Amino acid sequence: MGNELDWGRRYLMVEPDHFRVDYAINPFMDRDDQPDPARTRAQWDALVAAIVAVGGTVETLPQRSDAPDMVYAMNLGLALESASGPVVELSHMRFGQRRMETGDAEAWFRQRGARVFRTGAGGVGAHFEAGDAFAWRGELVVGFGPRTDPLALKHLAADLDVSVHGFRTSHPGMYHLDLAFCPLDSERAIVCPAAFEPETAERLLALVPDPLVITEAEALTFCANSIVVGRTVVMPSCPSRVRSVLEAWGFEIVIVEVGEFLKGGGAVRCLTNPLDVTLGRDLVTGRGEVWLS
Ligand code: ARG
């Protein structure tokens, strides 16, 4: 059994006061299927309560009224803790409808003394959405293609002084890596090979000592879009086969109903942004390397 993740106890979430489906930028969004505001609020509150009940904490940011997707806080940026204080690589969203969200996130992170980087700065314009990025085993595992540009991975490597493993995602329903990949502990992660071309999937699997391989149908329940607090996995749903593997590995499973948020194409991971991620060392900028698959 691997060691527990040393992050995943402190989250940033966005109050869901203006969650709507105003446009369709992923295959799950349908403007004729609007979230119900009361159910939205109840589900969000239940997710906060579930995180707190298993030992996590939640900080919140108000939702901009002109940013209906801002509830998916994971996409605001990739936050890291280092000995010299917090660091954030803000997202530069693929679609204009979401681009204003990161201005509010920047103010929030700056108020907390974070060093702020942005992949789209300096006119370079590389798109990066943090739902594609995980810090794991001292490196970054980053999806690219539908949302994140390959060039953004160079910015991440240079800005954060970290090695970056990039994996092109090629499944329309798994447009962010966090729909197909979920680190569980220091050795284990959920991986959905169907999100990638076969050689790419193989390279990702080679990076994971003990993968929980899930099928496309399992991934489309959003079960990889989960968060891990110690040995508890907080999930939007869990197919029975996945449950038996997780339980055999000693994980506790907590299911939180987030059906209203599935209407925007996101679940538990998308709604939460971990603030306590470390790379297990201090960060010095300007030294990372990139491998693309
Ligand atoms: N409607 C949002 C979008 O398409 C959903 C974001 C889901 N977030 C995630 N981390 N996968 O951008």
The per-residue pLDDT for range 203-247, each reduced to its tens digit, is 999 999 999 999 999 999 999 999 999 999 999 999 999 999 999
How far apart, in whole angstroms, are the C-alpha atoms of residue 50 and residue 186? 23
Point out the ligand 1 atom lying closest to the alpha carbon of residue 25: 4
How many A from CA of 71 to the centre of ligand 1? 9
Asked whether residue 4 is assigned to any structural domain, the reply reads no
Exposure string for 113-135, b = 16+ CB within 10 A, e = fewer? ebbbbbbbeeeeebbbbbbbbbb
Point out the ligand 1 atom lying closest to the alpha carbon of residue 26: 4
Q: Which residues share a beta bridge with 53? A: none
How many A from CA of 258 to the centre of ligand 1? 14
DSSP type of residue 35: P
Query: Nearest C-alpha to atom 7 of ligand 1 is from which residue?
Result: 266
Asked whether residue 15 is assigned to any structural domain, the reply reads yes
How far apart, in whole angstroms, are the C-alpha atoms of residue 277 and residue 74? 13
Asked whether residue 106 is assigned to any structural domain, the reply reads yes
Q: Give yes or no for residue 264 CB within 6 A of ligand 1.
A: yes
Closest listed residue to residue 132, CA positions, set 97, 86, 180, 98: 180
Residue 48's H or E segment, with its range, is helix 37-53
Asked whether residue 70 is assigned to any structural domain, the reply reads yes
Q: Give yes or no for residue 19 CB within 6 A of ligand 1.
A: no
Please count the other Cβ atoms lying within 10 Å of the Cβ belonging to residue 17: 15
Express as a percent the part of the chain with pLDDT over 70.
95
Q: Give yes or no for residue 254 CB within 6 A of ligand 1.
A: no
How far apart, in whole angstroms, are the C-alpha atoms of residue 156 and residue 149? 11
Please count the other Cβ atoms lying within 10 Å of the Cβ belonging to residue 233: 26
pLDDT in tens, 151-205: 999 999 999 989 999 999 999 999 999 999 999 999 999 999 999 999 999 999 9
pLDDT interval class at 288 (50, 70, 90): low
Q: Has this prediction a pTM greater than 0.85?
A: yes
- What is the Cα 52 distance to its own chain's centre? 19
Q: Give yes or no for residue 132 CB within 6 A of ligand 1.
A: no
How far apart, in whole angstroms, are the C-alpha atoms of residue 78 and residue 238? 26
Give the domain extent around 235: 10-280
How many A from CA of 175 to the centre of ligand 1? 8
* Torsion angle in degrees (nearest 10) through CA of 247, 248, 249, 250: 50
Asked whether residue 292 is assigned to any structural domain, the reply reads no
How far apart, in whole angstroms, are the C-alpha atoms of residue 93 and residue 199? 27
CATH number for the domain harbouring residue 255: 3.75.10.10
Is the pLDDT reported for residue 286 higher than 50? no
Burial category of 257 from C-beta neighbours within 10 Å (exposed 0-12, middle 13-18, buried 19 and up):
middle
φ/ψ of residue 288, rounded to 5: -70, 170
How far apart, in whole angstroms, are the C-alpha atoms of residue 112 and residue 98? 23
Query: Nearest C-alpha to atom 8 of ligand 1 is from which residue?
Result: 270
How many A from CA of 251 to the centre of ligand 1? 26
Asked whether residue 101 is assigned to any structural domain, the reply reads yes
Q: Which residues share a beta bridge with 182? A: 190
Is the pLDDT reported for residue 78 higher than 50? yes
How far apart, in whole angstroms, are the C-alpha atoms of residue 121 and residue 174? 27
Q: Give yes or no for residue 131 CB within 6 A of ligand 1.
A: yes
**Probe target for ligand 1 pocket from 177, 260, 270, with the most ligand atoms within 8 Å of CB:** 270
How many A from CA of 84 to the centre of ligand 1? 31
Asked whether residue 37 is assigned to any structural domain, the reply reads yes
Q: Give yes or no for residue 74 CB within 6 A of ligand 1.
A: yes
How many A from CA of 234 to the centre of ligand 1? 18
**Probe target for ligand 1 pocket from 70, 75, 178, with the most ligand atoms within 8 Å of CB:** 75
Number of domains comprising the chain:
1
Asked whether residue 2 is assigned to any structural domain, the reply reads no
> For position 285, what pLDDT does the model report?
53
Q: How far is CA 226 from CA 128, 162, 256, in A?
A: 21, 24, 10
Q: Give yes or no for residue 181 CB within 6 A of ligand 1.
A: no
Non-local CB neighbours of 43 within 8 Å, separated by 6+ positions = 256, 257, 258, 259, 260, 261
Q: Which residue carries 């496309």 as its tokens?
A: 216
